[in-house]
Structures are given as structure tokens and as C-alpha cells.
Structure 1
Amino acid sequence: MREKIEELLQDESIINEYGVKLHFIGNLQLLAEPVRISMEKAMKVTAHNKQRVLLVCVAYTSSDEIVHAVQESCKEMWNEVQNSNGVTVSNGTIGQLDRSLKRNGIRVNAQDSCKDCTRSDANGSTDRSREAETSSCCGMVEIAEEGKHDQGKVPAIKLTDVEKNMYMSVAPDPDILIRTSGEARLSNFLLWQTSTCPLYSPAALWPEIGLRHLIWAVLNFQRHHFYLEKKKKQF
């Protein structure tokens, strides 16, 4: 594969003549480094082309794509929450946000050395501070503010956040998916993008597919177009 990509890049006249923009879709980190570097070079060289787009799926499965998109969306949301919280200064030191207290609506500023600090009651037993009250802890922990965060206003990950992190976000969703040889299953391919897309499965193999098959695919698409557009609006 590496040799084929490099051979294509050496003849830039072919790329410029057809105006092809290459996109390699999938988890490219799973590939050998020389192959990945060649793919990245090919995408960089053809990035300026606008006429046609060629998508090549390598190291790609739809389930991996969905997991990747959700993970990236969670990372972005976590960074957004962290940036909105910022950092506070207490007694000349950078305060840390105690996660267990935050879940109870309390923000605590503490030094690293006092992160696991506990307080003793009159009987000598220890207890984690979970009330909205001041706990001195040698003067190194203080309640900064009571929780005023409305749970209903917690930022949520939206559908658009997931979709923009898909491997296939560089291209619009397909209008129709054609799979030859009569197979009516997707085989873990474009599961997300084809939720409102008709699947056409002619019995002909790929070398034998002809104009009549494409015409029949278009006719079937036109017959179901109204229903599919209605379903899209429900998402």
C-alpha cells in the first residue's frame, strides 16, 4: 500500500488533472509508521483539490468510530468544564477542587499535602467533610463557596458534538448505500451514517454491476425519498 501511495504522489499531473482530494478514514494510529506517514503526506498534498473527494477506509470499523467520537466528545466537554471552573488561590497556594465534595455541591480549596485531610469529632472518630460548613484542618482547607450549580444546567454532550468527531465527518452522510453480491448486512460499516439511508443489494458482483443496476437503485431511492426525509427530521 505504501508503494502505491508514493507512486501516485510522484505523478502529480494525475492528481491535478482530476482534482482528487484524498481522505484516509479510520484509526491510522494502528498502522505501521511508514504507511501512516505516506497517507498523511498524500492527504496534505491533495488538500487543495476541490473537484472530487476520494475516501479510503483503512483500519476502520463503525463501532470503533463511534467509540472514538464519544471519547473525543467527553474529552472536549471535560476540558470545557475545567476551563470554566478555573483555579483559585487560597493562603498563597493553588487550590484544588475536591471531587467528592463537588458532587455534594461544595467547592473546597486545599493544598496537595492536605488533600486527604479529615476532621475528628468529640469522640475521636474521623469523618469526611461532606457538609457545607467550615473545616479548618490546620488552616489549610477552607470552604470557598457553597454549591450553586444547578444540575439541570450541567453541560451535556449533544448529537452534533459526537458527529463532528466521527472519522467520516469530512463527508456528508450518504444518500444511498450500494453493496453488491446480494448481501443485505453492513458488516460494521457506516452504521451511524446510514441510519436514514436505503441499502441496495444487487445480486451482481462488483465487476458485473452496470448501468441498469444504478438506474434501479435511483428509482428505489426516489420511491423512499419522502419517508427518509421525514425520518431525518425526527432526529
Structure 2
Amino acid sequence: MNSPVFGEFIGTFVLILFGSGVGASTSLKKTLAKGAGHDWLYVAFGWGVAVMLGVYTSGFFGSPGHLNPAVTIGFAVNGTFEWGQVVPFILAQVAGAFVGALLAAIQFWPHFKETKTDEGNSVGIFATGPAIPNTLFNLLSEIIATFAFVLSIQILPASDMPVGLQPLVLVFVLVAIALSLGTTTGYAINPARDFGPRLMYVLMPIPNKGGANWGYAWIPIVGPIVGACLATLLIAALS
């Protein structure tokens, strides 16, 4: 759909969604940003750069750089990715997340030994969790955040920006999501990014570790998949 009027609508929608999200994240009680303070900006940029490096690395080996089952499934749903490749991609993504989390755990093993559960040694180092447990709204948070993320990354290829610069812009997309919509549930927006590290935390003998919060673990799987599918279907319908 090439409509200046609709463009004004959707552009203002994105502006206020992200802007209001930032306001709520910094003003309301018990958001993850409120609890972490300036550290939340550290987390936001750290994860943004991590995704950028992952996309560049996967691209070097000929991958489209999904790194995310929700993205893979969403693109398959709208017909831009082969269904026959979905399961292999997802298995590779989860396995990669597991091994990446394991190497990070080994890197910090002595620090796990020095840190008790109530001092920060928790599954939250590797996986996400809600600031306020509420099944419905936690699920909606992941759907909305992933919808915004996938909508954004589908728009990037349509711009005149060189392909090689798109992962760099992705950093700022993720930082924007972290600062605006990610402070309710930790913005998993990626089932592999949550499930693989959570599984590693359970299986490996990490010193002083706490529980894995498996009761919550389905939300960062289902929510991102629903959000990604909605975004890809919307773009397909309007294209």
C-alpha cells in the first residue's frame, strides 16, 4: 500500500508507541528500567550490539540472519521463507543459544561461586522474566514488543540503505524496544534467546544457581511467535 495518508497514520502510531513506552518505563513503579536505573541503558545497548554481531556473523556464513524462531516462523507464514527450512533453522537457533549461554557461564564461573541467588545469581542472567507476574499482560507485552520489532526489521530492506548497514541500524531498533516496550518482561522477542539459555541454566552445574521459572517459560515462546506472525501478515496485506 503506497498511501501518504496511511503512511502518516502508521508513522505516528510508531512514534507514540515507542515514545509513550519510554515515558511509562521511566515513570511507573516496578518496571525493570525503574529497578535497574542507568544499568538498563547498559543492558539495552549490550543486547542491541549482540544482535548486530550475530547478524553479521551469520551473514558471513550465508544465512539470512534470523537468529530467532519467531522471525523464521513469521516469514514462513507470509510466504517469504520456505517451510521446509523452518525446523532446521529453529533447532540451530536454540542450539546456538544454548552453547552461547554455556560459554558465557564458563567465562563467569568464579563469579557465580561468589554470588548467591539473592545477590543476582538467577536465571535472569540468561533468560527473561516479568517485572510484575500477570499471565495475560506478560503475554501481551511479548506480542506487542515482537510485533514492533518484526514490523521494523521488515521495513529496513525497503529503504535505500545498503544491506551491510542494516544490522547497525538494528542496534537502535533493539535499543528503542528495550527502552520503551521491554521493561515489563525483559523483551525476550525471541524464543531461542530465552529457551536455550534457560535450558542451559537448568542442565549445567552452575554454582549457587536458583530456579529456572519454567512456569513462565512458555510466554517468551508463544508471545514472540504470535507477534512476529501478526507483523509479517500485516506487511504482506499492505504490500
TM-score calculated relative to the size of structure 2: 0.20
Tell me which protein shows more helix as a share of its residues.
2
Choose between structure 1 and 2: higher strand proportion.
1
Structure with the greater alpha carbon radius of gyration: 1
Of structures 1 and 2, the one with the larger relative CO (CA 8 A, separation 6+) is 2
TM-score (norm 1): 0.20
